[in-house]
Amino acid sequence: MYDYPEPLKNLIEAFRFLPGIGPKTAQRLAFFLLSRSNEEVEMMAKALLEAKNRIITCSQCGNLTDTDPCCICVDMRRDRTLICVVQESRDIITFERMGDYRGLYHVLHGALSPLDGIGPEELNVAGLLKRLQEGEVKELIIATNPNAEGDATALYLARLVKPLGIKVTRIGFGLPVGGDLEYADELTLSRALEGRREI
């Protein structure tokens, strides 16, 4: 049976590899790119490779960055006694857009999920303990997602960190429960930050 020429098939396959892109969308995207100029396609290919080559993980907070430490960790105007723990790098952007928070961050790269085989060793927990043991931090705000895995992770961290004499707070439940932190609007997130409570 007739099918698309090989390079076009490969391009469609490449798009299908992305999450949430079905066969029809992949086809549309491939045809769209073929209709663009060489320069535009080369720019896109370059953006892929550059991002993959240059983006690294901050050795202090685990944020995605192109410098190590990242620009938040080296910013001396920030409150270094406060660390906000988030699941993913993209959650930091959500916090920064709100604008109310001036402390540091720590990215876990996930949440505890025994069913998926994700325990504390799979998360960036050792790095957090190392930062806390330096003694500068007074409060740890846990802003993991408001769902079962996020709550379990919060509880686990609270038990782990409290013996160090550091105040541990959980972000307030102004957040819609069961959701994803990434989609929180600035106002809800601001309320949640105000209403944080000790655990």
> How many residues sit in the footprint of a copy of itself (CB under 8 A)?
60
3-state secondary structure of 92: helix
Site for a copy of itself, residues 14 to 33, rule: CB under 8 A: 14, 17-20, 24-25, 27-33
Among 23, 54, 129, 130, contact with a copy of itself (rule: CB under 8 A): 54
Q: Does 92 bind a copy of itself (CB under 8 A)?
A: yes
User: How is residue 177 written in tokens?
Assistant: 């429960």
Residue closer to a copy of itself by CB (options 31, 173) is 31
User: How is residue 186 written in tokens?
Assistant: 């600035």
Q: Which residues fall within 8 angstroms of residue 117, CB to CB, at 6 or more apart?
A: none
> d(Cα 167, Cα 132) in Å, to the nearest integer?
11
> d(Cα 191, Cα 171) in Å, to the nearest integer?
9
Residue closer to a copy of itself by CB (options 5, 163) is 5
> d(Cα 153, Cα 110) in Å, to the nearest integer?
9
How many angstroms separate the first and last alpha carbons of the chain?
Answer: 64
Among 22, 43, 100, 194, contact with a copy of itself (rule: CB under 8 A): 43
Q: Does 3 bind a copy of itself (CB under 8 A)?
A: yes
User: Which residues would be at the binding site for a copy of itself (CB under 8 A)?
Assistant: 1-8, 10-11, 13-14, 17-20, 24-25, 27-34, 38, 40-55, 64-67, 70-72, 88-90, 92-93, 96-97, 99, 182-183
